[in-house]
């Protein structure tokens, strides 16, 4: 078992000053609705009163479902109608009303809430102006432009690190965690594994970790607290710094102490934090969708760590890892060289490679880590040299600081679209990363861009609107509707229908769909939009995967798996599926599509 260590170096402290808060508006009393025949009249603008009586009746019925009436206010320049609601509602409810209207009226091209915009948020945290890594054009991640779409709500991020210290800027942000350090000397808290993930300090006297290691006395790093602050420090609270995903929550898993931490403890923490089962450890009360590992050691990725990562990914967790600080090829640093992780290099304030950062083909993206010429990354810390003392803040440098920037952005993405798989998160981070403004060879796809990544997670860009599907008649009642791929199929008559998502073909019958319009001849039509299934982790190897209906189930690890179709449940085992990846821990997941 190799001992792994945090990947950071420190410097200085900031001053503080008051500022004003920015509030977002999360309600609206208007919808924007565009009808398909608006194209022919867009040039002259459609008068609000031009909505026909039949359309007004459908508007009324949709509004009744939500206890509201809708009245036409005016037309937009492209021929859409602005509709006034009789009451204000949340954006979530307004989106549901828009969807109800589209379902009732096939002549609607699109419907959406008329959102109230405000000047782009700048947090009132007094040290935000010193957090160049969040907003500067060269080395920053453009996070402010993402905050009107996602702040990380509903997403838990595991910080697998030195534990945490209570801090005013992390109040309410820390969930129940676990101390996985099994060696009492490393733990430095007088005990082994327990439910207290707080950090007692990792200071080490000279020679306490082996002959000449460390060469001199070292102070406590409070490394996990710094990482946690970058990800989710409270924001708009008038205190300290701003976190990237400030409405996400932190699940602390303590694995690093005096002299580092063992691979076996770290692997257990990876499994536990992602919802896996660890012997003699209570189940995690809060499952994490993102795991941050700002730690590393030399050598190839070991099987223990790779199996833990495979299991975490099968349960839907995104694994973000620091690339290392030795200015060498990250292919020689674990766990950055493990399969399935997002390995993160560091850039300085100029947007070029930080002098210490590892590089190479295993690196996926880069993020701010700071450097000596432009300054470090400011975050939460404790002021104790050895044991805990008062809250403070400090600038650190390292790929340890770069990784939580990516973990925070991943949390923003998953909050915006919880259905994203780990592979989809990685692909979108890479495809939206911006080009390096200075030299950064071997630093991956580019510098992570939070706003662009959240837009990609939502399936939108800053200037486009998702298209509305068209429907193709495919079968009369009693016939077979055939098409390519997985699509939504409607069954009914006129504007009254039921729908199912199916693969390839389906019988156009009451037996399959039910009878939405009794005593009326019905037919089927399929959508122009193909559906990509999402996958839900359901069991570890030798467990039971249970679900509703008939679905495809995958069994394997990472991108290697076999699949079969089952109804209701199946054993997740080699006996049922065969063994697609021998000597690796496998897991099962089921498709979102019923068959």
3-state SS of 9-47 is EEECCCCCCCCCCCCCCCEEEEEEEEEHHHHHHCCCCCC
Beta strands in 208-267 (DSSP E): 249-254, 261-262
Tokens of 269: 């923490």
Closest CA relative to residue 95, chosen from 23, 25, 24, 27: 27
Residue 157 near residue 164, CB atoms below 8 Å: no
Clarify whether 161 is annotated catalytic: yes
Map residue 492 onto helix, strand or coil: strand
Q: Residue 328 forms beta bridges with which residues?
A: none
- Number of CB atoms found within 10 A of residue 148's CB: 16
d(CA 186, CA 327) in angstroms, rounded, equals: 27
Residue 350 CB-half CA count within 13 A: 11
Of 294, 157, 292, 318, nearest to 223 by C-alpha is: 294
* H helix runs in 50-206, sequence order: 53-65, 91-104, 132-135, 184-187
Q: Which of 452, 437, 430, 450 is nearest to 348 (CA)?
A: 437
Distance between CA atoms of 244 and 257, rounded to whole angstroms? 26
Q: Return the ∠ at Cα 359 (arms to 357 and 361), rounded to 5°.
A: 160
* Residue 139 per-residue DSSP state: T
Determine which helix (DSSP H) or strand (DSSP E) holds 513, and give its type and residue range.
helix 510-513
Would residue 400 show up in a list of annotated catalytic residues for this protein?
yes
H or E element: which one contains 55?
A: helix 53-65
CA distances 525 to 37, 129, 474, 499, 594, Å, are 21, 55, 5, 9, 18
Kindly tell me the number of DSSP H helices and DSSP E strands found in the chain. Answer: 12, 26
Residue 339 tokens read as 């399969």
Pairing type for strands 318-322 and 290-293 reads parallel
Please pick, among 223, 274, 379, 405, the residue that the annotation labels catalytic.
Answer: 223
Per DSSP, 517 falls in state S
Burial of 569 (0-12, 13-18, 19+ CB in 10 A): middle
Looking at residue 465, the DSSP 8-state letter turns out to be: -
| Catalytic option among 350, 400, 523, 589 | 400
**Among 114, 161, 371, 391, which one carries the catalytic annotation?**
161
Residues catalogued as catalytic: 161, 223, 400
């Amino acid at each position: 078992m190799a001992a792994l260590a945090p990947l950071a170096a420190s410097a200085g402290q900031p001053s503080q000053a008051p500022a004003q808060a920015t509030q977002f508006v999360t309600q609206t009393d208007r919808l924007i609705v565009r009808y398909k025949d608006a194209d022919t009249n867009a040039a002259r603008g459609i008068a609000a009163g031009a909505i026909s009586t039949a359309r007004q009746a459908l508007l009324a019925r949709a509004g009744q479902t939500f206890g509201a009436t809708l009245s036409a206010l005016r037309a937009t320049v492209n021929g859409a109608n602005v509709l006034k609601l009789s009451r204000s509602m949340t954006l979530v409810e307004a989106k549901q009303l828009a969807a109800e209207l589209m379902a009732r009226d096939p002549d609607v091209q699109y419907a959406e809430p008329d959102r109230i915009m405000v000047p782009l948020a700048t947090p009132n945290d007094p040290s935000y102006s010193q957090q160049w890594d969040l907003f500067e054009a060269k080395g920053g991640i453009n996070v402010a432009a993402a905050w009107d779409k996602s702040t990380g709500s509903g997403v838990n991020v595991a910080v697998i690190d030195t534990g945490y210290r209570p801090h005013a800027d992390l109040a309410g942000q820390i969930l129940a965690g676990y101390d996985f350090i099994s060696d009492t000397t490393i733990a430095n808290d007088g005990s082994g594994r327990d439910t207290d993930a707080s950090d007692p300090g990792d200071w080490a006297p000279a020679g306490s970790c082996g002959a000449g290691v460390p060469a001199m006395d070292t102070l406590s790093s409070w490394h996990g607290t710094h990482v946690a602050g970058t990800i989710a420090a409270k924001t708009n609270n008038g205190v300290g710094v701003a976190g990237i995903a400030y409405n996400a929550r932190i699940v602390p898993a303590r694995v690093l102490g005096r002299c580092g931490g063992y691979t076996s403890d770290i692997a257990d923490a990876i499994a536990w934090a992602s919802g896996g089962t660890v012997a003699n450890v209570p189940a995690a009360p809060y499952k994490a969708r993102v795991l941050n590992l700002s730690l590393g050691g030399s050598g190839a990725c070991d099987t223990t760590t790779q199996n833990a990562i495979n299991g975490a990914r099968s349960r839907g967790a995104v694994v973000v890892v620091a690339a290392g600080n030795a200015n060498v090829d990250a292919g020689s640093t674990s766990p950055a060289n493990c399969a399935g992780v997002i390995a993160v290099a560091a850039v300085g304030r100029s947007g070029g490679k930080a002098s210490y950062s590892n590089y190479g083909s295993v690196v996926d993206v880069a993020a701010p880590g700071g450097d000596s010429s432009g300054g470090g990354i400011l975050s939460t810390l404790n002021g104790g040299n050895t044991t805990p003392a008062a809250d403070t803040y400090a600038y650190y440098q390292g790929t340890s600081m770069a990784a939580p920037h990516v973990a925070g952005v991943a949390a923003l993405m998953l909050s915006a679209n919880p259905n994203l798989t780990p592979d989809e998160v990685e692909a979108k981070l890479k495809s939206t990363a911006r080009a390096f403004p200075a030299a950064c060879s071997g630093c991956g796809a580019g510098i992570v861009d939070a706003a662009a990544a959240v837009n990609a997670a939502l399936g939108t860009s800053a200037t486009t609107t998702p298209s509305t599907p068209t429907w193709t008649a495919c079968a009369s009642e009693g016939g077979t509707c055939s098409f390519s791929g997985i699509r939504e199929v409607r069954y009914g008559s006129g504007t009254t229908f039921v729908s199912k998502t199916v693969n390839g073909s389906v019988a156009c019958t009451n037996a399959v769909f039910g009878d939405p319009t009794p005593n009326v001849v019905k037919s089927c039509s399929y959508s122009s939009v193909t559906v990509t299934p999402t996958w839900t982790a359901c069991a570890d190897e030798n467990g039971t995967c249970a679900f509703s209906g008939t679905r495809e189930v995958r069994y394997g690890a990472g991108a290697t798996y076999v699949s079969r179709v089952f109804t209701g449940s199946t054993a997740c085992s080699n006996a049922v599926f065969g063994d697609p990846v021998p000597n690796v821990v496998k897991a099962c997941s089921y498709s979102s599509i019923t068959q």
